[in-house]
A and B are shown apart, each in its own frame.
Chain A
Amino acid sequence: MADTVAVVEDEQNIRENIGFALKREGYHVEVYADGRAAWEAFQRSLPALLVLDIIMPRMDGLELCRRVRGISETIPIIFLSSRDEEFDRVLGLELGADDYLCKPFSMRELIARIKVLLRRIALDRLPDGGDVQVHRVGLLALDLQRYTARWDDRLVPLTVTEFMILRALARRPGYVKTRQQLMEEGYPHDTFVSDRTIDSHIKRLRKKFVAIDDTFDDIETVYGLGYRYREQG
């Protein structure tokens, strides 16, 4: 079954073009001209991936992203923005977006990123059993194929990007990963992300784990260097 991609964009031509291109790639496409219309539809059913413009009438992309994250922690979200200011980018990623593209973007690149994010999600749907690779560090268990994380056998809802950052940290507990390294792990396609983006992802990661176990403090900040996963004693 083909994945459904929702495009929320107030520019008619951009919306049409993305829709056209995605259909050619074989996806189902839902298009919305403003955030409010999209939100009404998402409350009934969520698509597999969201492409959101940031500045839109009636409800902007940031607000829509925040609301969607209230329903689903894992749905991949890509922002399109005509503002390339640091603030918007960080804010978008802080709200839990997985990727960020600046207008004017190349359609080929957008499609490529959509495919990457959807492929990761698709792994999540692999049937249980088989050669399931699970990486365990203490109470943390990372399913490297399904991109899911469990803490003390309880599922922690992570976005793909958060999962990849956590995986990079947990791969070698006790070793420091710089923000640059984490950026490369979390955003293999994007070289535009800033250090602060990593900080906001770490903040979200900690929050999600603390929500499950309020004694969680295994992600450590190493000032001036980066982050590391606590070595298990």
Chain B
Amino acid sequence: MFRRTPDAEMTSVRRALSGISFRLLAFNVLLVFLPAAGVLFLDTYEQHLLEAQERTMGQEGRLFAAAMEAAHQIDSDHAKSVLIQLGQRHLARLRVVDDTGTVLADSAILGPRRESESADPAPPNQPAQRTLLYRIGSLPVRLLRALGAPAPVGDDAFDIQPTGQLLGPEVNAALEGRYGAATRVMDDPARTVILHIAIPIRIDGEVAGAVVVSQSTSRIMSALYAVRLDVFQVFLASFAVAIVLTLLMATTIARPLARLRHRAEDILDRRGRLRGGFEPSHRSDEIGDLERALSQLTRRLEEHLQYTEAFASDVSHEFKNPLAAIRTAADMALEVSDPEEQRRFLGMIQGDIARMERLLTEAREISRVDARLDEEERAAVAVDGLLTGLLESFRLRRGDTGPGLELTVDDPGVLVKASPDRLIQVFENLIENAISFSPPTGTISVAVHSAGATVEVTVADQGPGIPPEHMDRIFTRFFSYRTVKSPEDGHTGIGLALVKAIVEGYGGTVVAGNHSGGGAEFVVTLPRLVD
């Protein structure tokens, strides 16, 4: 059952993954994803930077438009000259179109080229997105973009129409007198994004043309790429650390737990029986606590099993005596021919059968007390009231024969929480025991005494007392040192054991002893109920 087959190995691997180790890993990895969430923030940041760039481009465009408007005319030469003047200071590409969209001047064709020109196929400062690491990290994002983004449009397609016109929504908007803006993705490997804005040029209130400003976002993008790469590196490093941490945690938590499980399984043998105890290790942590709890549990279980076994063996032993008497009496009843003798043996059989029945009842009673006393209903019981009633019923049953019964109470109305029936069983057994040992002229004194948080009930007789050699076994079930054993006297040896079981079940104690007057004395101590 607990042999380690390949199957079991598989299961254990699966169990290790689905167990605590897996959860540890999940938590750690989730923590690692926190820096990755920073990428989302970077997107907002990118948006801000792009807006700022667009504003700057707008200012440039307006400045240029103002310069054109100041000249009150729009022609290619003038535009070119202004472009040349301004061109040196501008990072963006500026183009001037007339009211038909025809390009009059283009800063890219004019002055010396500067960095971040729109159509630059490989911007020099974009190395980050070239690295393998970046490609791996950005794979999901790139996939998303490939799915959702519009197909790239070459700047040239927008730029040079056969008619020399510059067309596009932003140009159209500007030519209609509004501010126009558009974003285009270049058809190059870097997917360079170009921002285009168009500002109308008004001459005498009429839209005479437009200034189109375009600039690559590659500067912003490359900076962001670098940051993203850093974040990705941090993420990878944290991921590695998380795995190492998880392994460490697994070895300090999950592994000892798995070992504990194996040891716990070993407590049972193949047939599922308890086999030996469970020795806790000396760990001082929670796993050590668990081991100690388990050890205590198995010890209690073992004790209980032993108790049950011993009980069964005791009961079977106790049954054999009346059974032997019945068998021999039956043998003899068949053997003899005298009807009087036969009647005598049959009577003997009847008596022993009654004794077996009594034994059975009492054995069931004591095992019920052992197992279920806690489940029985309890009430606040006045001890003196209960004893008064009990003694009265004894007097009614016995008449004036036998020893006298006497009750003294020093604190009337003292309460205990118990089942009244069980309490009656306790005192009935003690009093019956006292009566059976008491001389017929003696007195049995029952005293109730409350001492602090407890109530003491003493039952004392004037009999011979308990022989010292039997003192330690007096509460053992089926133990009896009575020299005369016959079915008639009805002592099964369970009475005092039952008393002990009930009293201890209620958190009390019962002590046997001999008092100075010579007789036996039983002291029952129960926790007092304070109302």
Residues of A within 8 A of B (CB): 10-14, 16-18, 20-21, 24, 33-34, 55, 57-58, 80, 82-83, 85, 102-108
A107 touches B331 (CB 8 A): yes
Q: Does B85 contact A (CB under 8 A)?
A: no
16 pairs of residues in contact across A and B, judged by CB atoms under 8 Å: A12-B486, A13-B328, A13-B348, A13-B352, A13-B486, A34-B483, A57-B481, A57-B482, A83-B313, A83-B317, A104-B323, A104-B324, A104-B327, A104-B328, A107-B327, A108-B331
8 more A-B contacts (CB under 8 A) besides A12-B484, A13-B348, A104-B327?
Answer: A10-B483, A12-B487, A21-B331, A33-B483, A57-B482, A57-B483, A82-B324, A107-B332
Q: Does B326 contact A (CB under 8 A)?
A: yes
CB distance from A106 to the nearest CB of B (A): 6
* B-chain residues with CB within 8 Å of residue A107 when the two chains form the complex: 327-328, 331-332, 335
A57 touches B328 (CB 8 A): no
Q: How far is the CA of A189 from the CA of B389 in the complex (A)?
A: 59
CB distance from B333 to the nearest CB of A (A): 10
* B-chain residues with CB within 8 Å of residue A11 when the two chains form the complex: 321-322, 324-325, 485-486
Residue among B324, B329, B348, B351 with max Cβ neighbours from chain A (10 Å): B324
* B-chain residues with CB within 8 Å of residue A20 when the two chains form the complex: 332
Q: Does B262 contact A (CB under 8 A)?
A: no
Q: Inter-chain contact count A-B, CB under 8 Å?
A: 83
A106 touches B331 (CB 8 A): yes
Residues of B within 8 A of A (CB): 313, 317-318, 320-329, 331-332, 335-336, 345, 348, 351-352, 480-487
A13 touches B351 (CB 8 A): yes
CB distance from A196 to the nearest CB of B (A): 20
Q: How far is the CA of A16 from the CA of B348 in the complex (A)?
A: 10
Nearest A-chain residue to B325, judged by Cβ? A13
CB distance from B265 to the nearest CB of A (A): 32
* A-chain residues with CB within 8 Å of residue B484 when the two chains form the complex: 12, 33
Q: How far is the CA of A20 from the CA of B328 in the complex (A)?
A: 10
A103 touches B320 (CB 8 A): yes
* A-chain residues with CB within 8 Å of residue B481 when the two chains form the complex: 57-58
B328 touches A18 (CB 8 A): yes
* A-chain residues with CB within 8 Å of residue B323 when the two chains form the complex: 103-104
CB distance from A112 to the nearest CB of B (A): 12
Q: How far is the CA of A18 from the CA of B345 in the complex (A)?
A: 12
B320 touches A14 (CB 8 A): no
Top 9 A-B residue pairs of the complex, sorted by shortest distance between their CB atoms: A82-B320, A13-B325, A103-B324, A17-B328, A107-B331, A104-B324, A12-B486, A103-B320, A104-B327
